[in-house]
Amino acid sequence: MTDLLRCPVCGLALRRADRTWRCEVGHVFDIARQGYVNLLAGRAAHTGDTAAMLDARSAVLAAGHLDVVTKGVIDALGGDLPGGAIVEAGAGTAHHLAGAVRALPSRSAIAMDASVAAAKRAAAADPSRITSVVADVWQDWPLLDDVAAAVLCIFAPRNLPETARVLVPGGRLVVVTPAQDHLQELRAVLGLIEIEAGKQERLTESAARHLDLIDRSVIRATRTVDRATACAIAAMGPSGFHLDDVVLRRRADRLSAQTEITLAVTLTRFVRP
Ligand SMILES: C[S@@+](CC[C@H](N)C(=O)[O-])C[C@H]1O[C@@H](n2cnc3c(N)ncnc32)[C@H](O)[C@@H]1O
Ligand SMILES: [Zn+2]
């Protein structure tokens, strides 16, 4: 397999040797029992989502509630994708990434997340194809230059200079962000964090220095969910950091037994010139 990872200490390529990744200089990174490798150099500035948030996310994704997002991402990768790996920054459980590699059988993939709880789950998503790495998206990525055919950034932080560095020329960045009315039926009742206005404009402006915009589309769907699923949807997102489980369940009592919710996300594609 082509080298993809680089040593977070010296920047040389990492090669797999038994249960380790090592560079020529001799820096060694053990593969954890659960299958991920921690390539954080030094202390983590961000620790990412908690195990409870990831359990909630796994349940919601396994029930197929966000399959429209996986499909949208697969469609966004279709066509004339150049050679190279698929990288997901802030991959969480790597559910969407696993869907993408199933649809693109010849590709290897890297799931990066700052959360060890996420990296454990991503390592189990497709062990033969996805390498799961603990890394902070805001720092230098532990990836060599020009290795990625696509970088996915799905409800996750974006590092545009690092994205441009790892993409091959002609490689794509696929960004999924919530639209203004995403989960609107749950937002007030459950006390979810509001979606910032002007997010799309800021994304396009900051990407322009590194990448060219290809297109933007909005994916809309409705799902009917029970109260437990509504709580899991609340707990898996950014509101999960501050929403207490007991408070959440009490608020969910105000919902009908079955609630129709709106899924509305913007999918934006950029290309590295
Ligand atoms: C809302 S979740 C989305 C997960 C996945 N992309 C999905 O759509 O299912 C955001 C993810 O980004 C990760 N994350 C947050 N800050 C990060 C950082 N600075 N570096 C790497 N990952 C980060 C979190 O741990 C979490 O798994
Ligand atoms: Zn090294």
pLDDT at 235: 96
Q: 182's torsion region: left (phi>0), alpha (psi -120 to 50) or beta?
A: beta
Q: How far is CA 156 from the centre of its chain?
A: 6
Mean pLDDT over the full length of the chain: 95
**Mean pLDDT calculated for residue range 142-169:** 98
Is the separation of the CB atoms in 149 and 80 below 8 Å?
no
CATH assignment of 15-271? 3.40.50.150
1 has a pLDDT exceeding 70: no
Q: Are 145 and 115 in contact (CB under 8 A)?
A: no
Q: State in Å: Cα 255 to ligand 1 middle.
A: 28
Predicted pLDDT of residue 33: 98
Of residues 2 and 28, more confidence is placed in 28
> Does residue 150 carry a pLDDT above 90?
yes
Centre of ligand 1 to C-alpha 137, Å, is: 9
| Average pLDDT of the segment spanning 181-209 | 90
Tell me the mean pLDDT in the region 121-149. 97
What is the pTM (predicted TM-score) of this model?
A: 0.97
Q: Is 90 in the pocket of ligand 1 (CB under 6 A)?
A: yes
- What residue owns the CA closest to ligand 1's atom 4? 92
Q: Could you tell me the residue ranges of all domains in the chain?
A: 15-271
Q: pLDDT (tens digit, 9 = 90+) per residue, 213-225?
A: 999 999 999 999 9
Mean local confidence (pLDDT), 141-165: 97
Distance CA 108, CA 128 (A): 9
Tell me the residues surrounding ligand 2 (ion) with CB < 5 Å. 7, 9-10, 23, 25, 27
Counting Cβ atoms within 10 Å, is residue 25 exposed (0-12), middle (13-18) or buried (19+)? exposed
Q: Is residue 91 within 6 Å of ligand 1 at its C-beta?
A: yes
Give the tens place of pLDDT for each residue, 24-34.
999 999 999 99
Residue 112 has pLDDT above 80, yes or no: yes
Tens digit of each residue's pLDDT (9 = 90 or more) over 67-111: 999 999 999 998 899 999 999 999 999 999 999 999 998 899 999
Residue 42 has pLDDT above 80, yes or no: no
Instruction: With a cut of 90, say whether residue 55 has pLDDT above it.
Output: yes
Q: Is 84 in the pocket of ligand 1 (CB under 6 A)?
A: no
- Read off the pLDDT band of 45 (50, 70, 90): confident
Answer whether 95 contacts ligand 1 (Cβ < 6 A): yes
**Residue 116 pLDDT:** 97
Output the pLDDT for position 77.
96
